[in-house]
Structure 1
Amino acid sequence: MPMKQENRTDPDTILQKIARSEMGKLTVFLGASAGVGKTYTMLETAHERLQAGIDVVIGWVETHGRKETEGLVSGLPVILPKCITYRGKVIQEMDIDAILARRPELVLVDELAHTNIQGSRHVRRFQDVEELLKAGINVYTTLNIQHIESLNDVVAQITGVIVRETVPDYVVEQADNVQLIDISPQDLIKRLQEGKVYVAGQAEQALRNFFRQGNINALREMALRFMAKRVDSDLSEYMREHKIDGPWPASGKVMVCVSASPFSAQLIRAACRLAAGLQAEWLAVHIETNTKFSLREKERLRDRVARNMRLAEELGAKTISIAGRDLLHELLAVARNNNVTAIVVGKPQQSRLRDMVHESIVNKLIRHSGGINVYVIQAQKEQPSHSTYINTEAAPVQGNWQYYLLSFCMIIGISGFGWFFKDLIEIINIALLYQLPVTLSAFWWGRWPSYFTAVSSMVLFDFLFVPPVFAFTVYDLRYIWSFITFLIVAFIIGGRTEFLREEADLARQRERSIRSLYSFSKEIAAVVDLATITRSLAIQAADTLGRRVMVLLPDEHNQLMVCAEHEPGAAMKQYTIHPVADSTEAAVAAWVYAHCEAAGRSAATLPSADYLYLPLVTREHIVGVLGIKIIEKLITPEQRRLMEAWAGLAAIAIERVQLTEKAREAELLLESDKLKSTLFNSVSHELRTPLASIIGSALTLRDAAQHCSPEEKNELWDNIIDGAKRMTRIVANLLDTARLEGGTLRLKNDWCDLQDIIGVALRQVEDQIKERAIQFNISAEVPIVRGDGKLLEQVMVNLLDNAFKYSPANSPVEITVVTGKNQVQVSVADRGIGIPAADLTQIFDKFYRAKQIEGNSNGIGLGLSICRTIIEAHNGKIWAENRPDGGTMIHFFIPVPEQDKRLMDQEGSIFNGN
């Protein structure tokens, strides 16, 4: 019976069509480059729709000053653009809200790839178009081929120009209609020379750079190929919708069937030659079916298929790999879905007799192919190529005589047991007992010891228990069939038991490998130290692979250095970064790093090395090399994949650390730039006033001293002194900040009297006190504390200076000292305007000033920051709060440990003569 093609429509396709039927229709006028007439054609078509009674409006059209285009715009309704202010300039953008409110049947939106100005609803214009389509409005738009995202790299390679504004492929692919606007390169160049595309100066520059004839031809070919691909897709969709089996020979398409057979490579090359002769696309298809092979054999077959599919990709095929039960059904389904016109298969090698019993897949394919041509290729025998991989398991167990001896011992034990109980056990039960050593031998040592055990068991059973006893003669022929059945069962049990044992070993090996990979990824998830990651990688990879591993990373001169290495089973040790000792190995590693390809032992490139070097490659670039010591010449595919898995995981981990470092450096650089900018602005502002005062007073004293009274002269000198002191304080704060940031500040712990410190600080700011009242609330007994007296004086000076700045001139300033159990608290309070609640926790940051007082007083925002650093260096704490009746209180405390109290009491007793 011929197979019937199922033409049922995919439910997801039906749902997509229903959703799209409720949306507007998108028509794209596609061109190879600017100047081919996309906008002009779109406007002409819009005029035709307007004459047909369609409600057409212009949402956005760029005329670029072309008179012909402007003439077509004048006859169509226009929705005025909206104006957006950006960086002091007023820029016009399409008003999508006005279009949605107007709700025309058709809207014209030029330049689909445009990036909207900041402040627009969407970042890109194609997103505006998507919103219009969802609202049910039909859209006409224009697009150049170089603005399609998937072609961006190709365009940059051809023209040397990187296109920044691109449109995702799905936008064009889901368009209801794509119309190609095409003119010859000569006509386009002529239009450029006549000034119909750009103005004179721009046209000349464009002709020299982007609009060279070679570039135009390449872009034109890309546009034509894109349209051909779309037409082919539309044809396939039409055939599916109308349940047409096909294929239609509108364009040839060749499909080759790929398997793990060694002849597949010949079929792939034959299909490539056939497709080239037909000038057609071609596919390489692999159907993975459920096969009853061991895991090891499946690994080998999968590796062969992967090599064959890579060969097809290198020759230009589109590869498809799917899973299915019915090979013939899946092949024909793929062929019909892709409109294939020719299938390339290999000629079967089975005999004619077997073909009569079980029809080959080729014969079935020919009978059910319908209108598809089937090319049957006679494959030639190939010399077995040296695979990159071989099994590196231990020597086969059949060569180990100990296993055979132990198997024979088990047979002797069973025989003795059966002989001793032969009067109690029937002979059939004794025969079943001999299956036990067969099964155990297969489970422990493999199939060949199991086969030896089976034959030995049959011989001893015949010699000891089958009449005549102690002879190999068999009188009853029924025992012959029993012997044959016994051997068959024994051979099956032995083979299947070894098969299960191998699968169990492979499963345990894979579980161990996966557990190691998971453990490593979990361990380094939160680690950002490169040395820790490389050391952990070397240790875990070496222990998992059972081989010596070293991690090589480039230094600042881009030279590979060994950052970590480990021998499996060796003790952990400290690593020192050093170059590769062997110059040959270093050269191989450098080649891998330069070419981003594996090389070394067991690889096709530079196989004379002792290590296999794998590049640590991420999506962006190569970050290093992983070296693995290989003793044998070749390794298995599974081992290679495991090594590549370690290399991939290591590359991700190392790149994450490098990106973290770059992000930290960028953040520090940003903070540094911000600090410099703030510092320059603040210093220039703060130094201007005292400098102006000093210069003005000095000039007055120089030029008009004879006209000044003594009082005026003293006032001028006071202004100079006050200005100098203010500058001194500003410079002192800057120097203290530099010392604190640089870590050069060291406390000089000594006994300090806080009352003396407060007195010295008041004398330093006495020029600011003037008519102010200083109120003291100091406990009767203030303990002497340990600290740096000079730095604590600086804290009091900064707090008093802050209180004088931000409070009225005639208001009092209160100084309070309270003694606690293990601390002394000092407070400075004023009657100023207070600090906003949101700023209370930030006023101790560098260069921070509260918003509501920012313009009311001078200061660069360093005084309180210095106070916090000094107090915290004394293990204390500083904070600010607003007073209920107005003003601000800044508190700080310094701890007084019990041992300091005892020392203070002892020194006080000595001082008092007690």
Structure 2
Amino acid sequence: MAETADGSERRPDPDALLALAEQEKRGKLRVFLGAAPGVGKTYAMLARAKAAKADGCDIVVGVAETHGRAETLALLDGLESLPRRKIDYRGRALEEFDVDAALARKPRIILVDELAHTNAPDCRHPKRWQDVEELLEAEIDVWTTLNIQHLEGLADIVSRVTGVAVRETVPDLVLQNADDVILVDITPDELLQRLKEGKVYVPQMAERAIRNFFTPRNLTALRELALRRTADRVDDQMVDYLRQSAIEGPWATSERLLVCVGADRLCERVVRAGARAATALNAPWLALHVERPGEEQDPAEGRRVDEALRLAERLGGEALRVSGQDLAAETLRVARRENITQIVVGRSRAGWFARLARKSLTEELVRRSTDIAVQIITDGGAPAEPMRRVAPPHRRFWLGVAAALLSSAVAAGVAALAERWLALPDPSLIFLASVVACALGFGVASATAASIFSFLALDFLFVEPRYDISISEPREFLSLLVFLSIAMVTGTLAGRARSRSEAMRARAEAAQSLFDLSRKLASAANLDDVLWAAANHAQKALEAKSVVLLVPGDADLRIAAAWPPVDELDAGEAGAARWARDKAEPAGWRTDTLPRVRFQFHPLMTTRGVVAVAGIEPRDPSEPLSAQTERMLTAILEQTAVAVDRSLLVGESVRAAALEENERLRTTLLSSLSHDLRTPLAAIIGAVTSLRQLGEKMTAEERADLLASIEEEAGRLSRFVVNLLDMSRIESGALAPRRELVDIGDVVRGALERARKELPRLTVTASLARDLPPIRGDAHLLGQVLFNLLDNAQKYGGGSAAVYARREGGELALSVTDEGPGVKPQDLERIFEKFYRGGRVDGRKAGTGLGLSICRGLVEAMGGAIVAQSPAARRRGTRMLMRFPAAEPRGGA
């Protein structure tokens, strides 16, 4: 432990130590970073690989793009190369890096060239850097190459500097998390000379590249970007080392950035600028989009916002959506809540009317943020975007315009009739009513159109000179302007109220939908019901096919619920589902893993890990999920995961209770066996030993007593074994009593006779009524019940018992009463449980508890019932009362 200058202890940064521990669980990534194509990245990587191979390192070549260069090809000699995966795509044979072969070979180091490469459509991952991430997760070290222009955060700068759009990019976090970055660089003159000599491209391609991309200005700019990014990476490594080693130094300030994401075309550039600023400051950052409640958003703008937020997540930021009417106030509220120190916002060139109609968010943020710095990104100097075909207005827009025209015509007709028959001096209120009607029915656009149509109709039909678009009196002109202003304001307010009402209704429907799902999940009786409820609700709420797969231990996934029904998944879909289970991240449609499959799979995460995998197949695969749909999907997944976890916990608790009960019964049984078997066996062994050793010296009477003791204890042991067998027969359902007419008097007399022989210490009295009806049952089993009750009375009933039998209505009542201390009232029902031994009021433990449990099983098997009553007489004793349905004998029975 180090000490600071003032004597206090210095401790390593916990976050730095945790990050170091996480790195130890992964493979090491070494990136050969080049300023431009042709600087020799692949050559440098292969040269180092040859040296490592010579030192005995297990190193293989996963993929190396030599582009036909002889010097590079020569370096492959002596290096093990993995075969590439062949893919047939649109009649063309493509060769791609085989991730599965690399995982199966699992070398210490593998070379994977061209990190920014885009894989063929049928590959597991769309990008090669994702293949590398999978290798690193498998603890395989990877060496790879990358050009600086392929970094996601620098793509817009490279496009602006070179005029060439970069299509293949790698997230900045890949380079940021690399363990080693080796800069491969040569001067622009040397690179141009290599191009002219044909060492980079063939002569025709080289000439075109020199004219378009490989200009001295472009190469110098790319070289500066590479040097700066490498220097930043070295600085990050030094800071990490200082934090891990608890070394004092000048630490960077704790900056935190907020990037405002709007719906304009500048949003992507703002996100990239914010990511670069955060990387330069080594600070976390947040991408925020604020939407006005009730404001209709164009689908193209919505997709633009979604793409910008996804870009922010790829660049290492956190995406957040909030809702608020005042964009600046909501942005500053989030900034202060998240301890933001800098806000990055874009400002596009707006027309004078747009600046007059509403306040600029940028200006409002600058004016209100007194304690937060604001960085403004402008669109000045940006390359002109290619002309795009303007999307035609939505069908609802034209419907609203038609409604405005129709309502204005109807208002004009009504106003004409009112003027003729009622001498209405001012028909503007009638037109105002049509504007409000359009606003409530079709929104702000329709209300604006109705205001203009009403203004023209009012001027043409009701203002002198009539039937002409002209105004003779200034006051009439002022009246028309006031009408137009009031109509537009009223229509706008009414349209906004309608939009907000629709938004509130949509939110209420979403909340009701989630409430219905939670109610269904809460009332689900078992796991299957939970999964079916979730699949059915997801299909209705998201308008997409849904499937839920369970994770049965280490076995493969199985379809547990699907709606509409899905019999099985194809190989690609099954692979995406397994990836979601194993990696705990989305896979499938529009993700980074197997994006061409039908379903998008999401893991259902709980505290125990992934408990299931849910997949959805959208109705329109060509369109991404909207933000509202994604929020609904997230809520459904979270509720389903909680419900699945709860069902699994219930099942585990039931199994745990059963295991606990089995353990209790096992312990009780062993305890009972140790007593009820050991005691008679000890008596028998002792008597036999005495007879063997002292038989000749003992009198005949003493030998007779020992033999009687052996006989009694053997009978006791036999009865215990019979009880165990009877209990096993009852629990297994193998007991099938006969249904014959039984005379209770005969059964009682037989049981008493047996008791006199086997229970000599018990005094029994019997009282049988004369009108006893027969019952239908098994005489042998009923006799066994009576004997067990008498045996119980001998042990715990004071040595005496009374048997009573009488008729009570349509039933026969048979009871055995003892004079013992009795049973606690709360234990009168529990004494019939197996191995229960706690029911005596004197606190002494009872026996095994098998006797009464067997009695209840046998009585109920014969259609009767048995209960315990205590105290029985004179505040003492216990009465075991049995009731059987009386049966009158039928002819010949």
The letter of the residue matching 2:531 is T
Change (3 A) 1:541 1:787: farther
Q: CA offsets, 1:220-267, max 9 Å, x none?
A: 956848x99xxxxxxxxxxxxxxxxxxxx9863334343224254234
Name the TM-score, length of structure 2 as normaliser: 0.62
Q: CA offsets, 1:648-672, max 9 Å, x none?
A: 1111111100011111111211221
Q: What does 1:501-900 correspond to in 2, within 5 Å?
A: 501-555=498-552, 558-567=555-564, 580-603=568-591, 605-632=593-620, 633-698=623-688, 714-770=704-760, 772-807=762-797, 811-835=799-823, 839-850=827-838, 859-873=847-861, 874-883=863-872, 885=874, 887-896=876-885
**For the residues of structure 2 that align with 1:367 and 1:504, how far apart are their CA atoms?**
30
Kept in 2: contact 1:592–1:598 (CA 8 A)? yes
Aligned-partner SS, 2:522: coil
Aligned-partner SS, 2:770: coil
Aligned-partner SS, 1:429: coil
Compute the RMSD of aligned alpha carbons.
5.3
Q: CA offsets, 1:7-47, max 9 Å, x none?
A: xxxxxxxxxxxxxxxxxxxxxxxx59xxx9xxxx99xx9xx
Of stretches 299-308 and 768-777 in structure 1, the one that deviates more from structure 2 is: 299-308
Of stretches 298-307 and 754-763 in structure 1, the one that deviates more from structure 2 is: 298-307
Counterpart pick for 2:435 among 438, 442, 456: 438
Aligned-partner SS, 1:525: helix
Q: CA deviation at 1:676?
A: 1.5
The letter of the residue matching 1:430 is P
Q: CA deviation at 1:421?
A: 3.6
Q: CA offsets, 1:668-694, max 9 Å, x none?
A: 112212221221221132112222344
Q: What does 1:69-148 correspond to in 2, within 5 Å?
A: none
Change (3 A) 1:593 1:328: closer
Aligned-partner SS, 1:826: strand
Q: CA deviation at 1:410?
A: 4.1
1:270 and 2:276 aligned: yes
**For the residues of structure 1 that align with 2:421 and 2:405, how far apart are their CA atoms?**
24
Kept in 1: contact 2:459–2:469 (CA 8 A)? yes
Change (3 A) 1:287 1:628: closer
**For the residues of structure 2 that align with 1:545 and 1:330, how far apart are their CA atoms?**
30
Change (3 A) 1:551 1:911: same
Counterpart pick for 2:419 among 411, 422, 434: 422
Kept in 2: contact 1:264–1:308 (CA 8 A)? no
Of stretches 706-715 and 747-756 in structure 1, the one that deviates more from structure 2 is: 706-715
The letter of the residue matching 2:522 is A
1:197 equivalent in structure 2:
none
Change (3 A) 1:318 1:473: closer
**For the residues of structure 2 that align with 1:513 and 1:374, how far apart are their CA atoms?**
36
Q: CA deviation at 1:530?
A: 1.1
Q: CA deviation at 1:813?
A: 2.0
Kept in 2: contact 1:806–1:857 (CA 8 A)? no
The letter of the residue matching 2:521 is I
Q: CA offsets, 1:710-769, max 9 Å, x none?
A: 656655544443333222211121122223333444454333222222223223333334
**For the residues of structure 2 that align with 1:441 and 1:884, how far apart are their CA atoms?**
91
Kept in 1: contact 2:17–2:244 (CA 8 A)? no
Name the TM-score, length of structure 1 as normaliser: 0.60
The letter of the residue matching 1:829 is T
Gaps of at least 5 residues in structure 1 are 1-30, 46-141, 161-216, 229-248, 277-281, 386-391, 568-574
Q: CA offsets, 1:604-625, max 9 Å, x none?
A: 5544333333322223312212
Kept in 1: contact 2:839–2:845 (CA 8 A)? no
Gaps of at least 5 residues in structure 2 are 26-238, 386-390
Q: CA deviation at 1:537?
A: 2.2
Kept in 2: contact 1:846–1:861 (CA 8 A)? yes
Q: CA deviation at 1:879?
A: 0.9
Q: CA deviation at 1:861?
A: 2.0
Q: CA deviation at 1:858?
A: 8.3
Kept in 1: contact 2:447–2:495 (CA 8 A)? no
Change (3 A) 1:838 1:742: same
Kept in 1: contact 2:290–2:321 (CA 8 A)? no
**For the residues of structure 1 that align with 2:363 and 2:16, how far apart are their CA atoms?**
40
Q: CA deviation at 1:814?
A: 1.3
Change (3 A) 1:859 1:830: same
1:256 equivalent in structure 2:
257
Change (3 A) 1:420 1:143: closer
Kept in 1: contact 2:815–2:879 (CA 8 A)? yes
Of stretches 697-706 and 595-604 in structure 1, the one that deviates more from structure 2 is: 697-706
Change (3 A) 1:461 1:315: closer
Q: CA deviation at 1:774?
A: 1.8
The letter of the residue matching 1:765 is A
Count of residues in correspondence between the two structures: 662
Change (3 A) 1:512 1:470: same
Q: CA deviation at 1:397?
A: 0.7
Q: CA offsets, 1:523-553, max 9 Å, x none?
A: 3325441122222223333333333333222
The letter of the residue matching 1:615 is P
The letter of the residue matching 1:676 is R
**For the residues of structure 2 that align with 1:414 and 1:511, how far apart are their CA atoms?**
35
Q: CA offsets, 1:533-583, max 9 Å, x none?
A: 22222333333333333322234553232222335xxxxxxx8xx752444
Q: What does 1:197-212 correspond to in 2, within 5 Å?
A: none
Aligned-partner SS, 1:814: strand
1:15 equivalent in structure 2:
none
1:172 equivalent in structure 2:
none
Kept in 2: contact 1:254–1:344 (CA 8 A)? no
Aligned-partner SS, 2:604: strand
Of stretches 667-676 and 541-550 in structure 1, the one that deviates more from structure 2 is: 541-550
Change (3 A) 1:656 1:346: closer
Change (3 A) 1:362 1:543: closer
Kept in 1: contact 2:840–2:846 (CA 8 A)? no
1:74 equivalent in structure 2:
none
Q: CA deviation at 1:519?
A: 2.4
Aligned-partner SS, 2:568: coil
1:397 equivalent in structure 2:
396
Aligned-partner SS, 2:427: helix
Aligned-partner SS, 1:691: helix
**For the residues of structure 1 that align with 2:831 and 2:392, how far apart are their CA atoms?**
70
Change (3 A) 1:611 1:491: farther
**For the residues of structure 1 that align with 2:535 and 2:330, how far apart are their CA atoms?**
49
Aligned-partner SS, 1:882: coil
Kept in 2: contact 1:313–1:319 (CA 8 A)? no
Kept in 2: contact 1:534–1:563 (CA 8 A)? yes
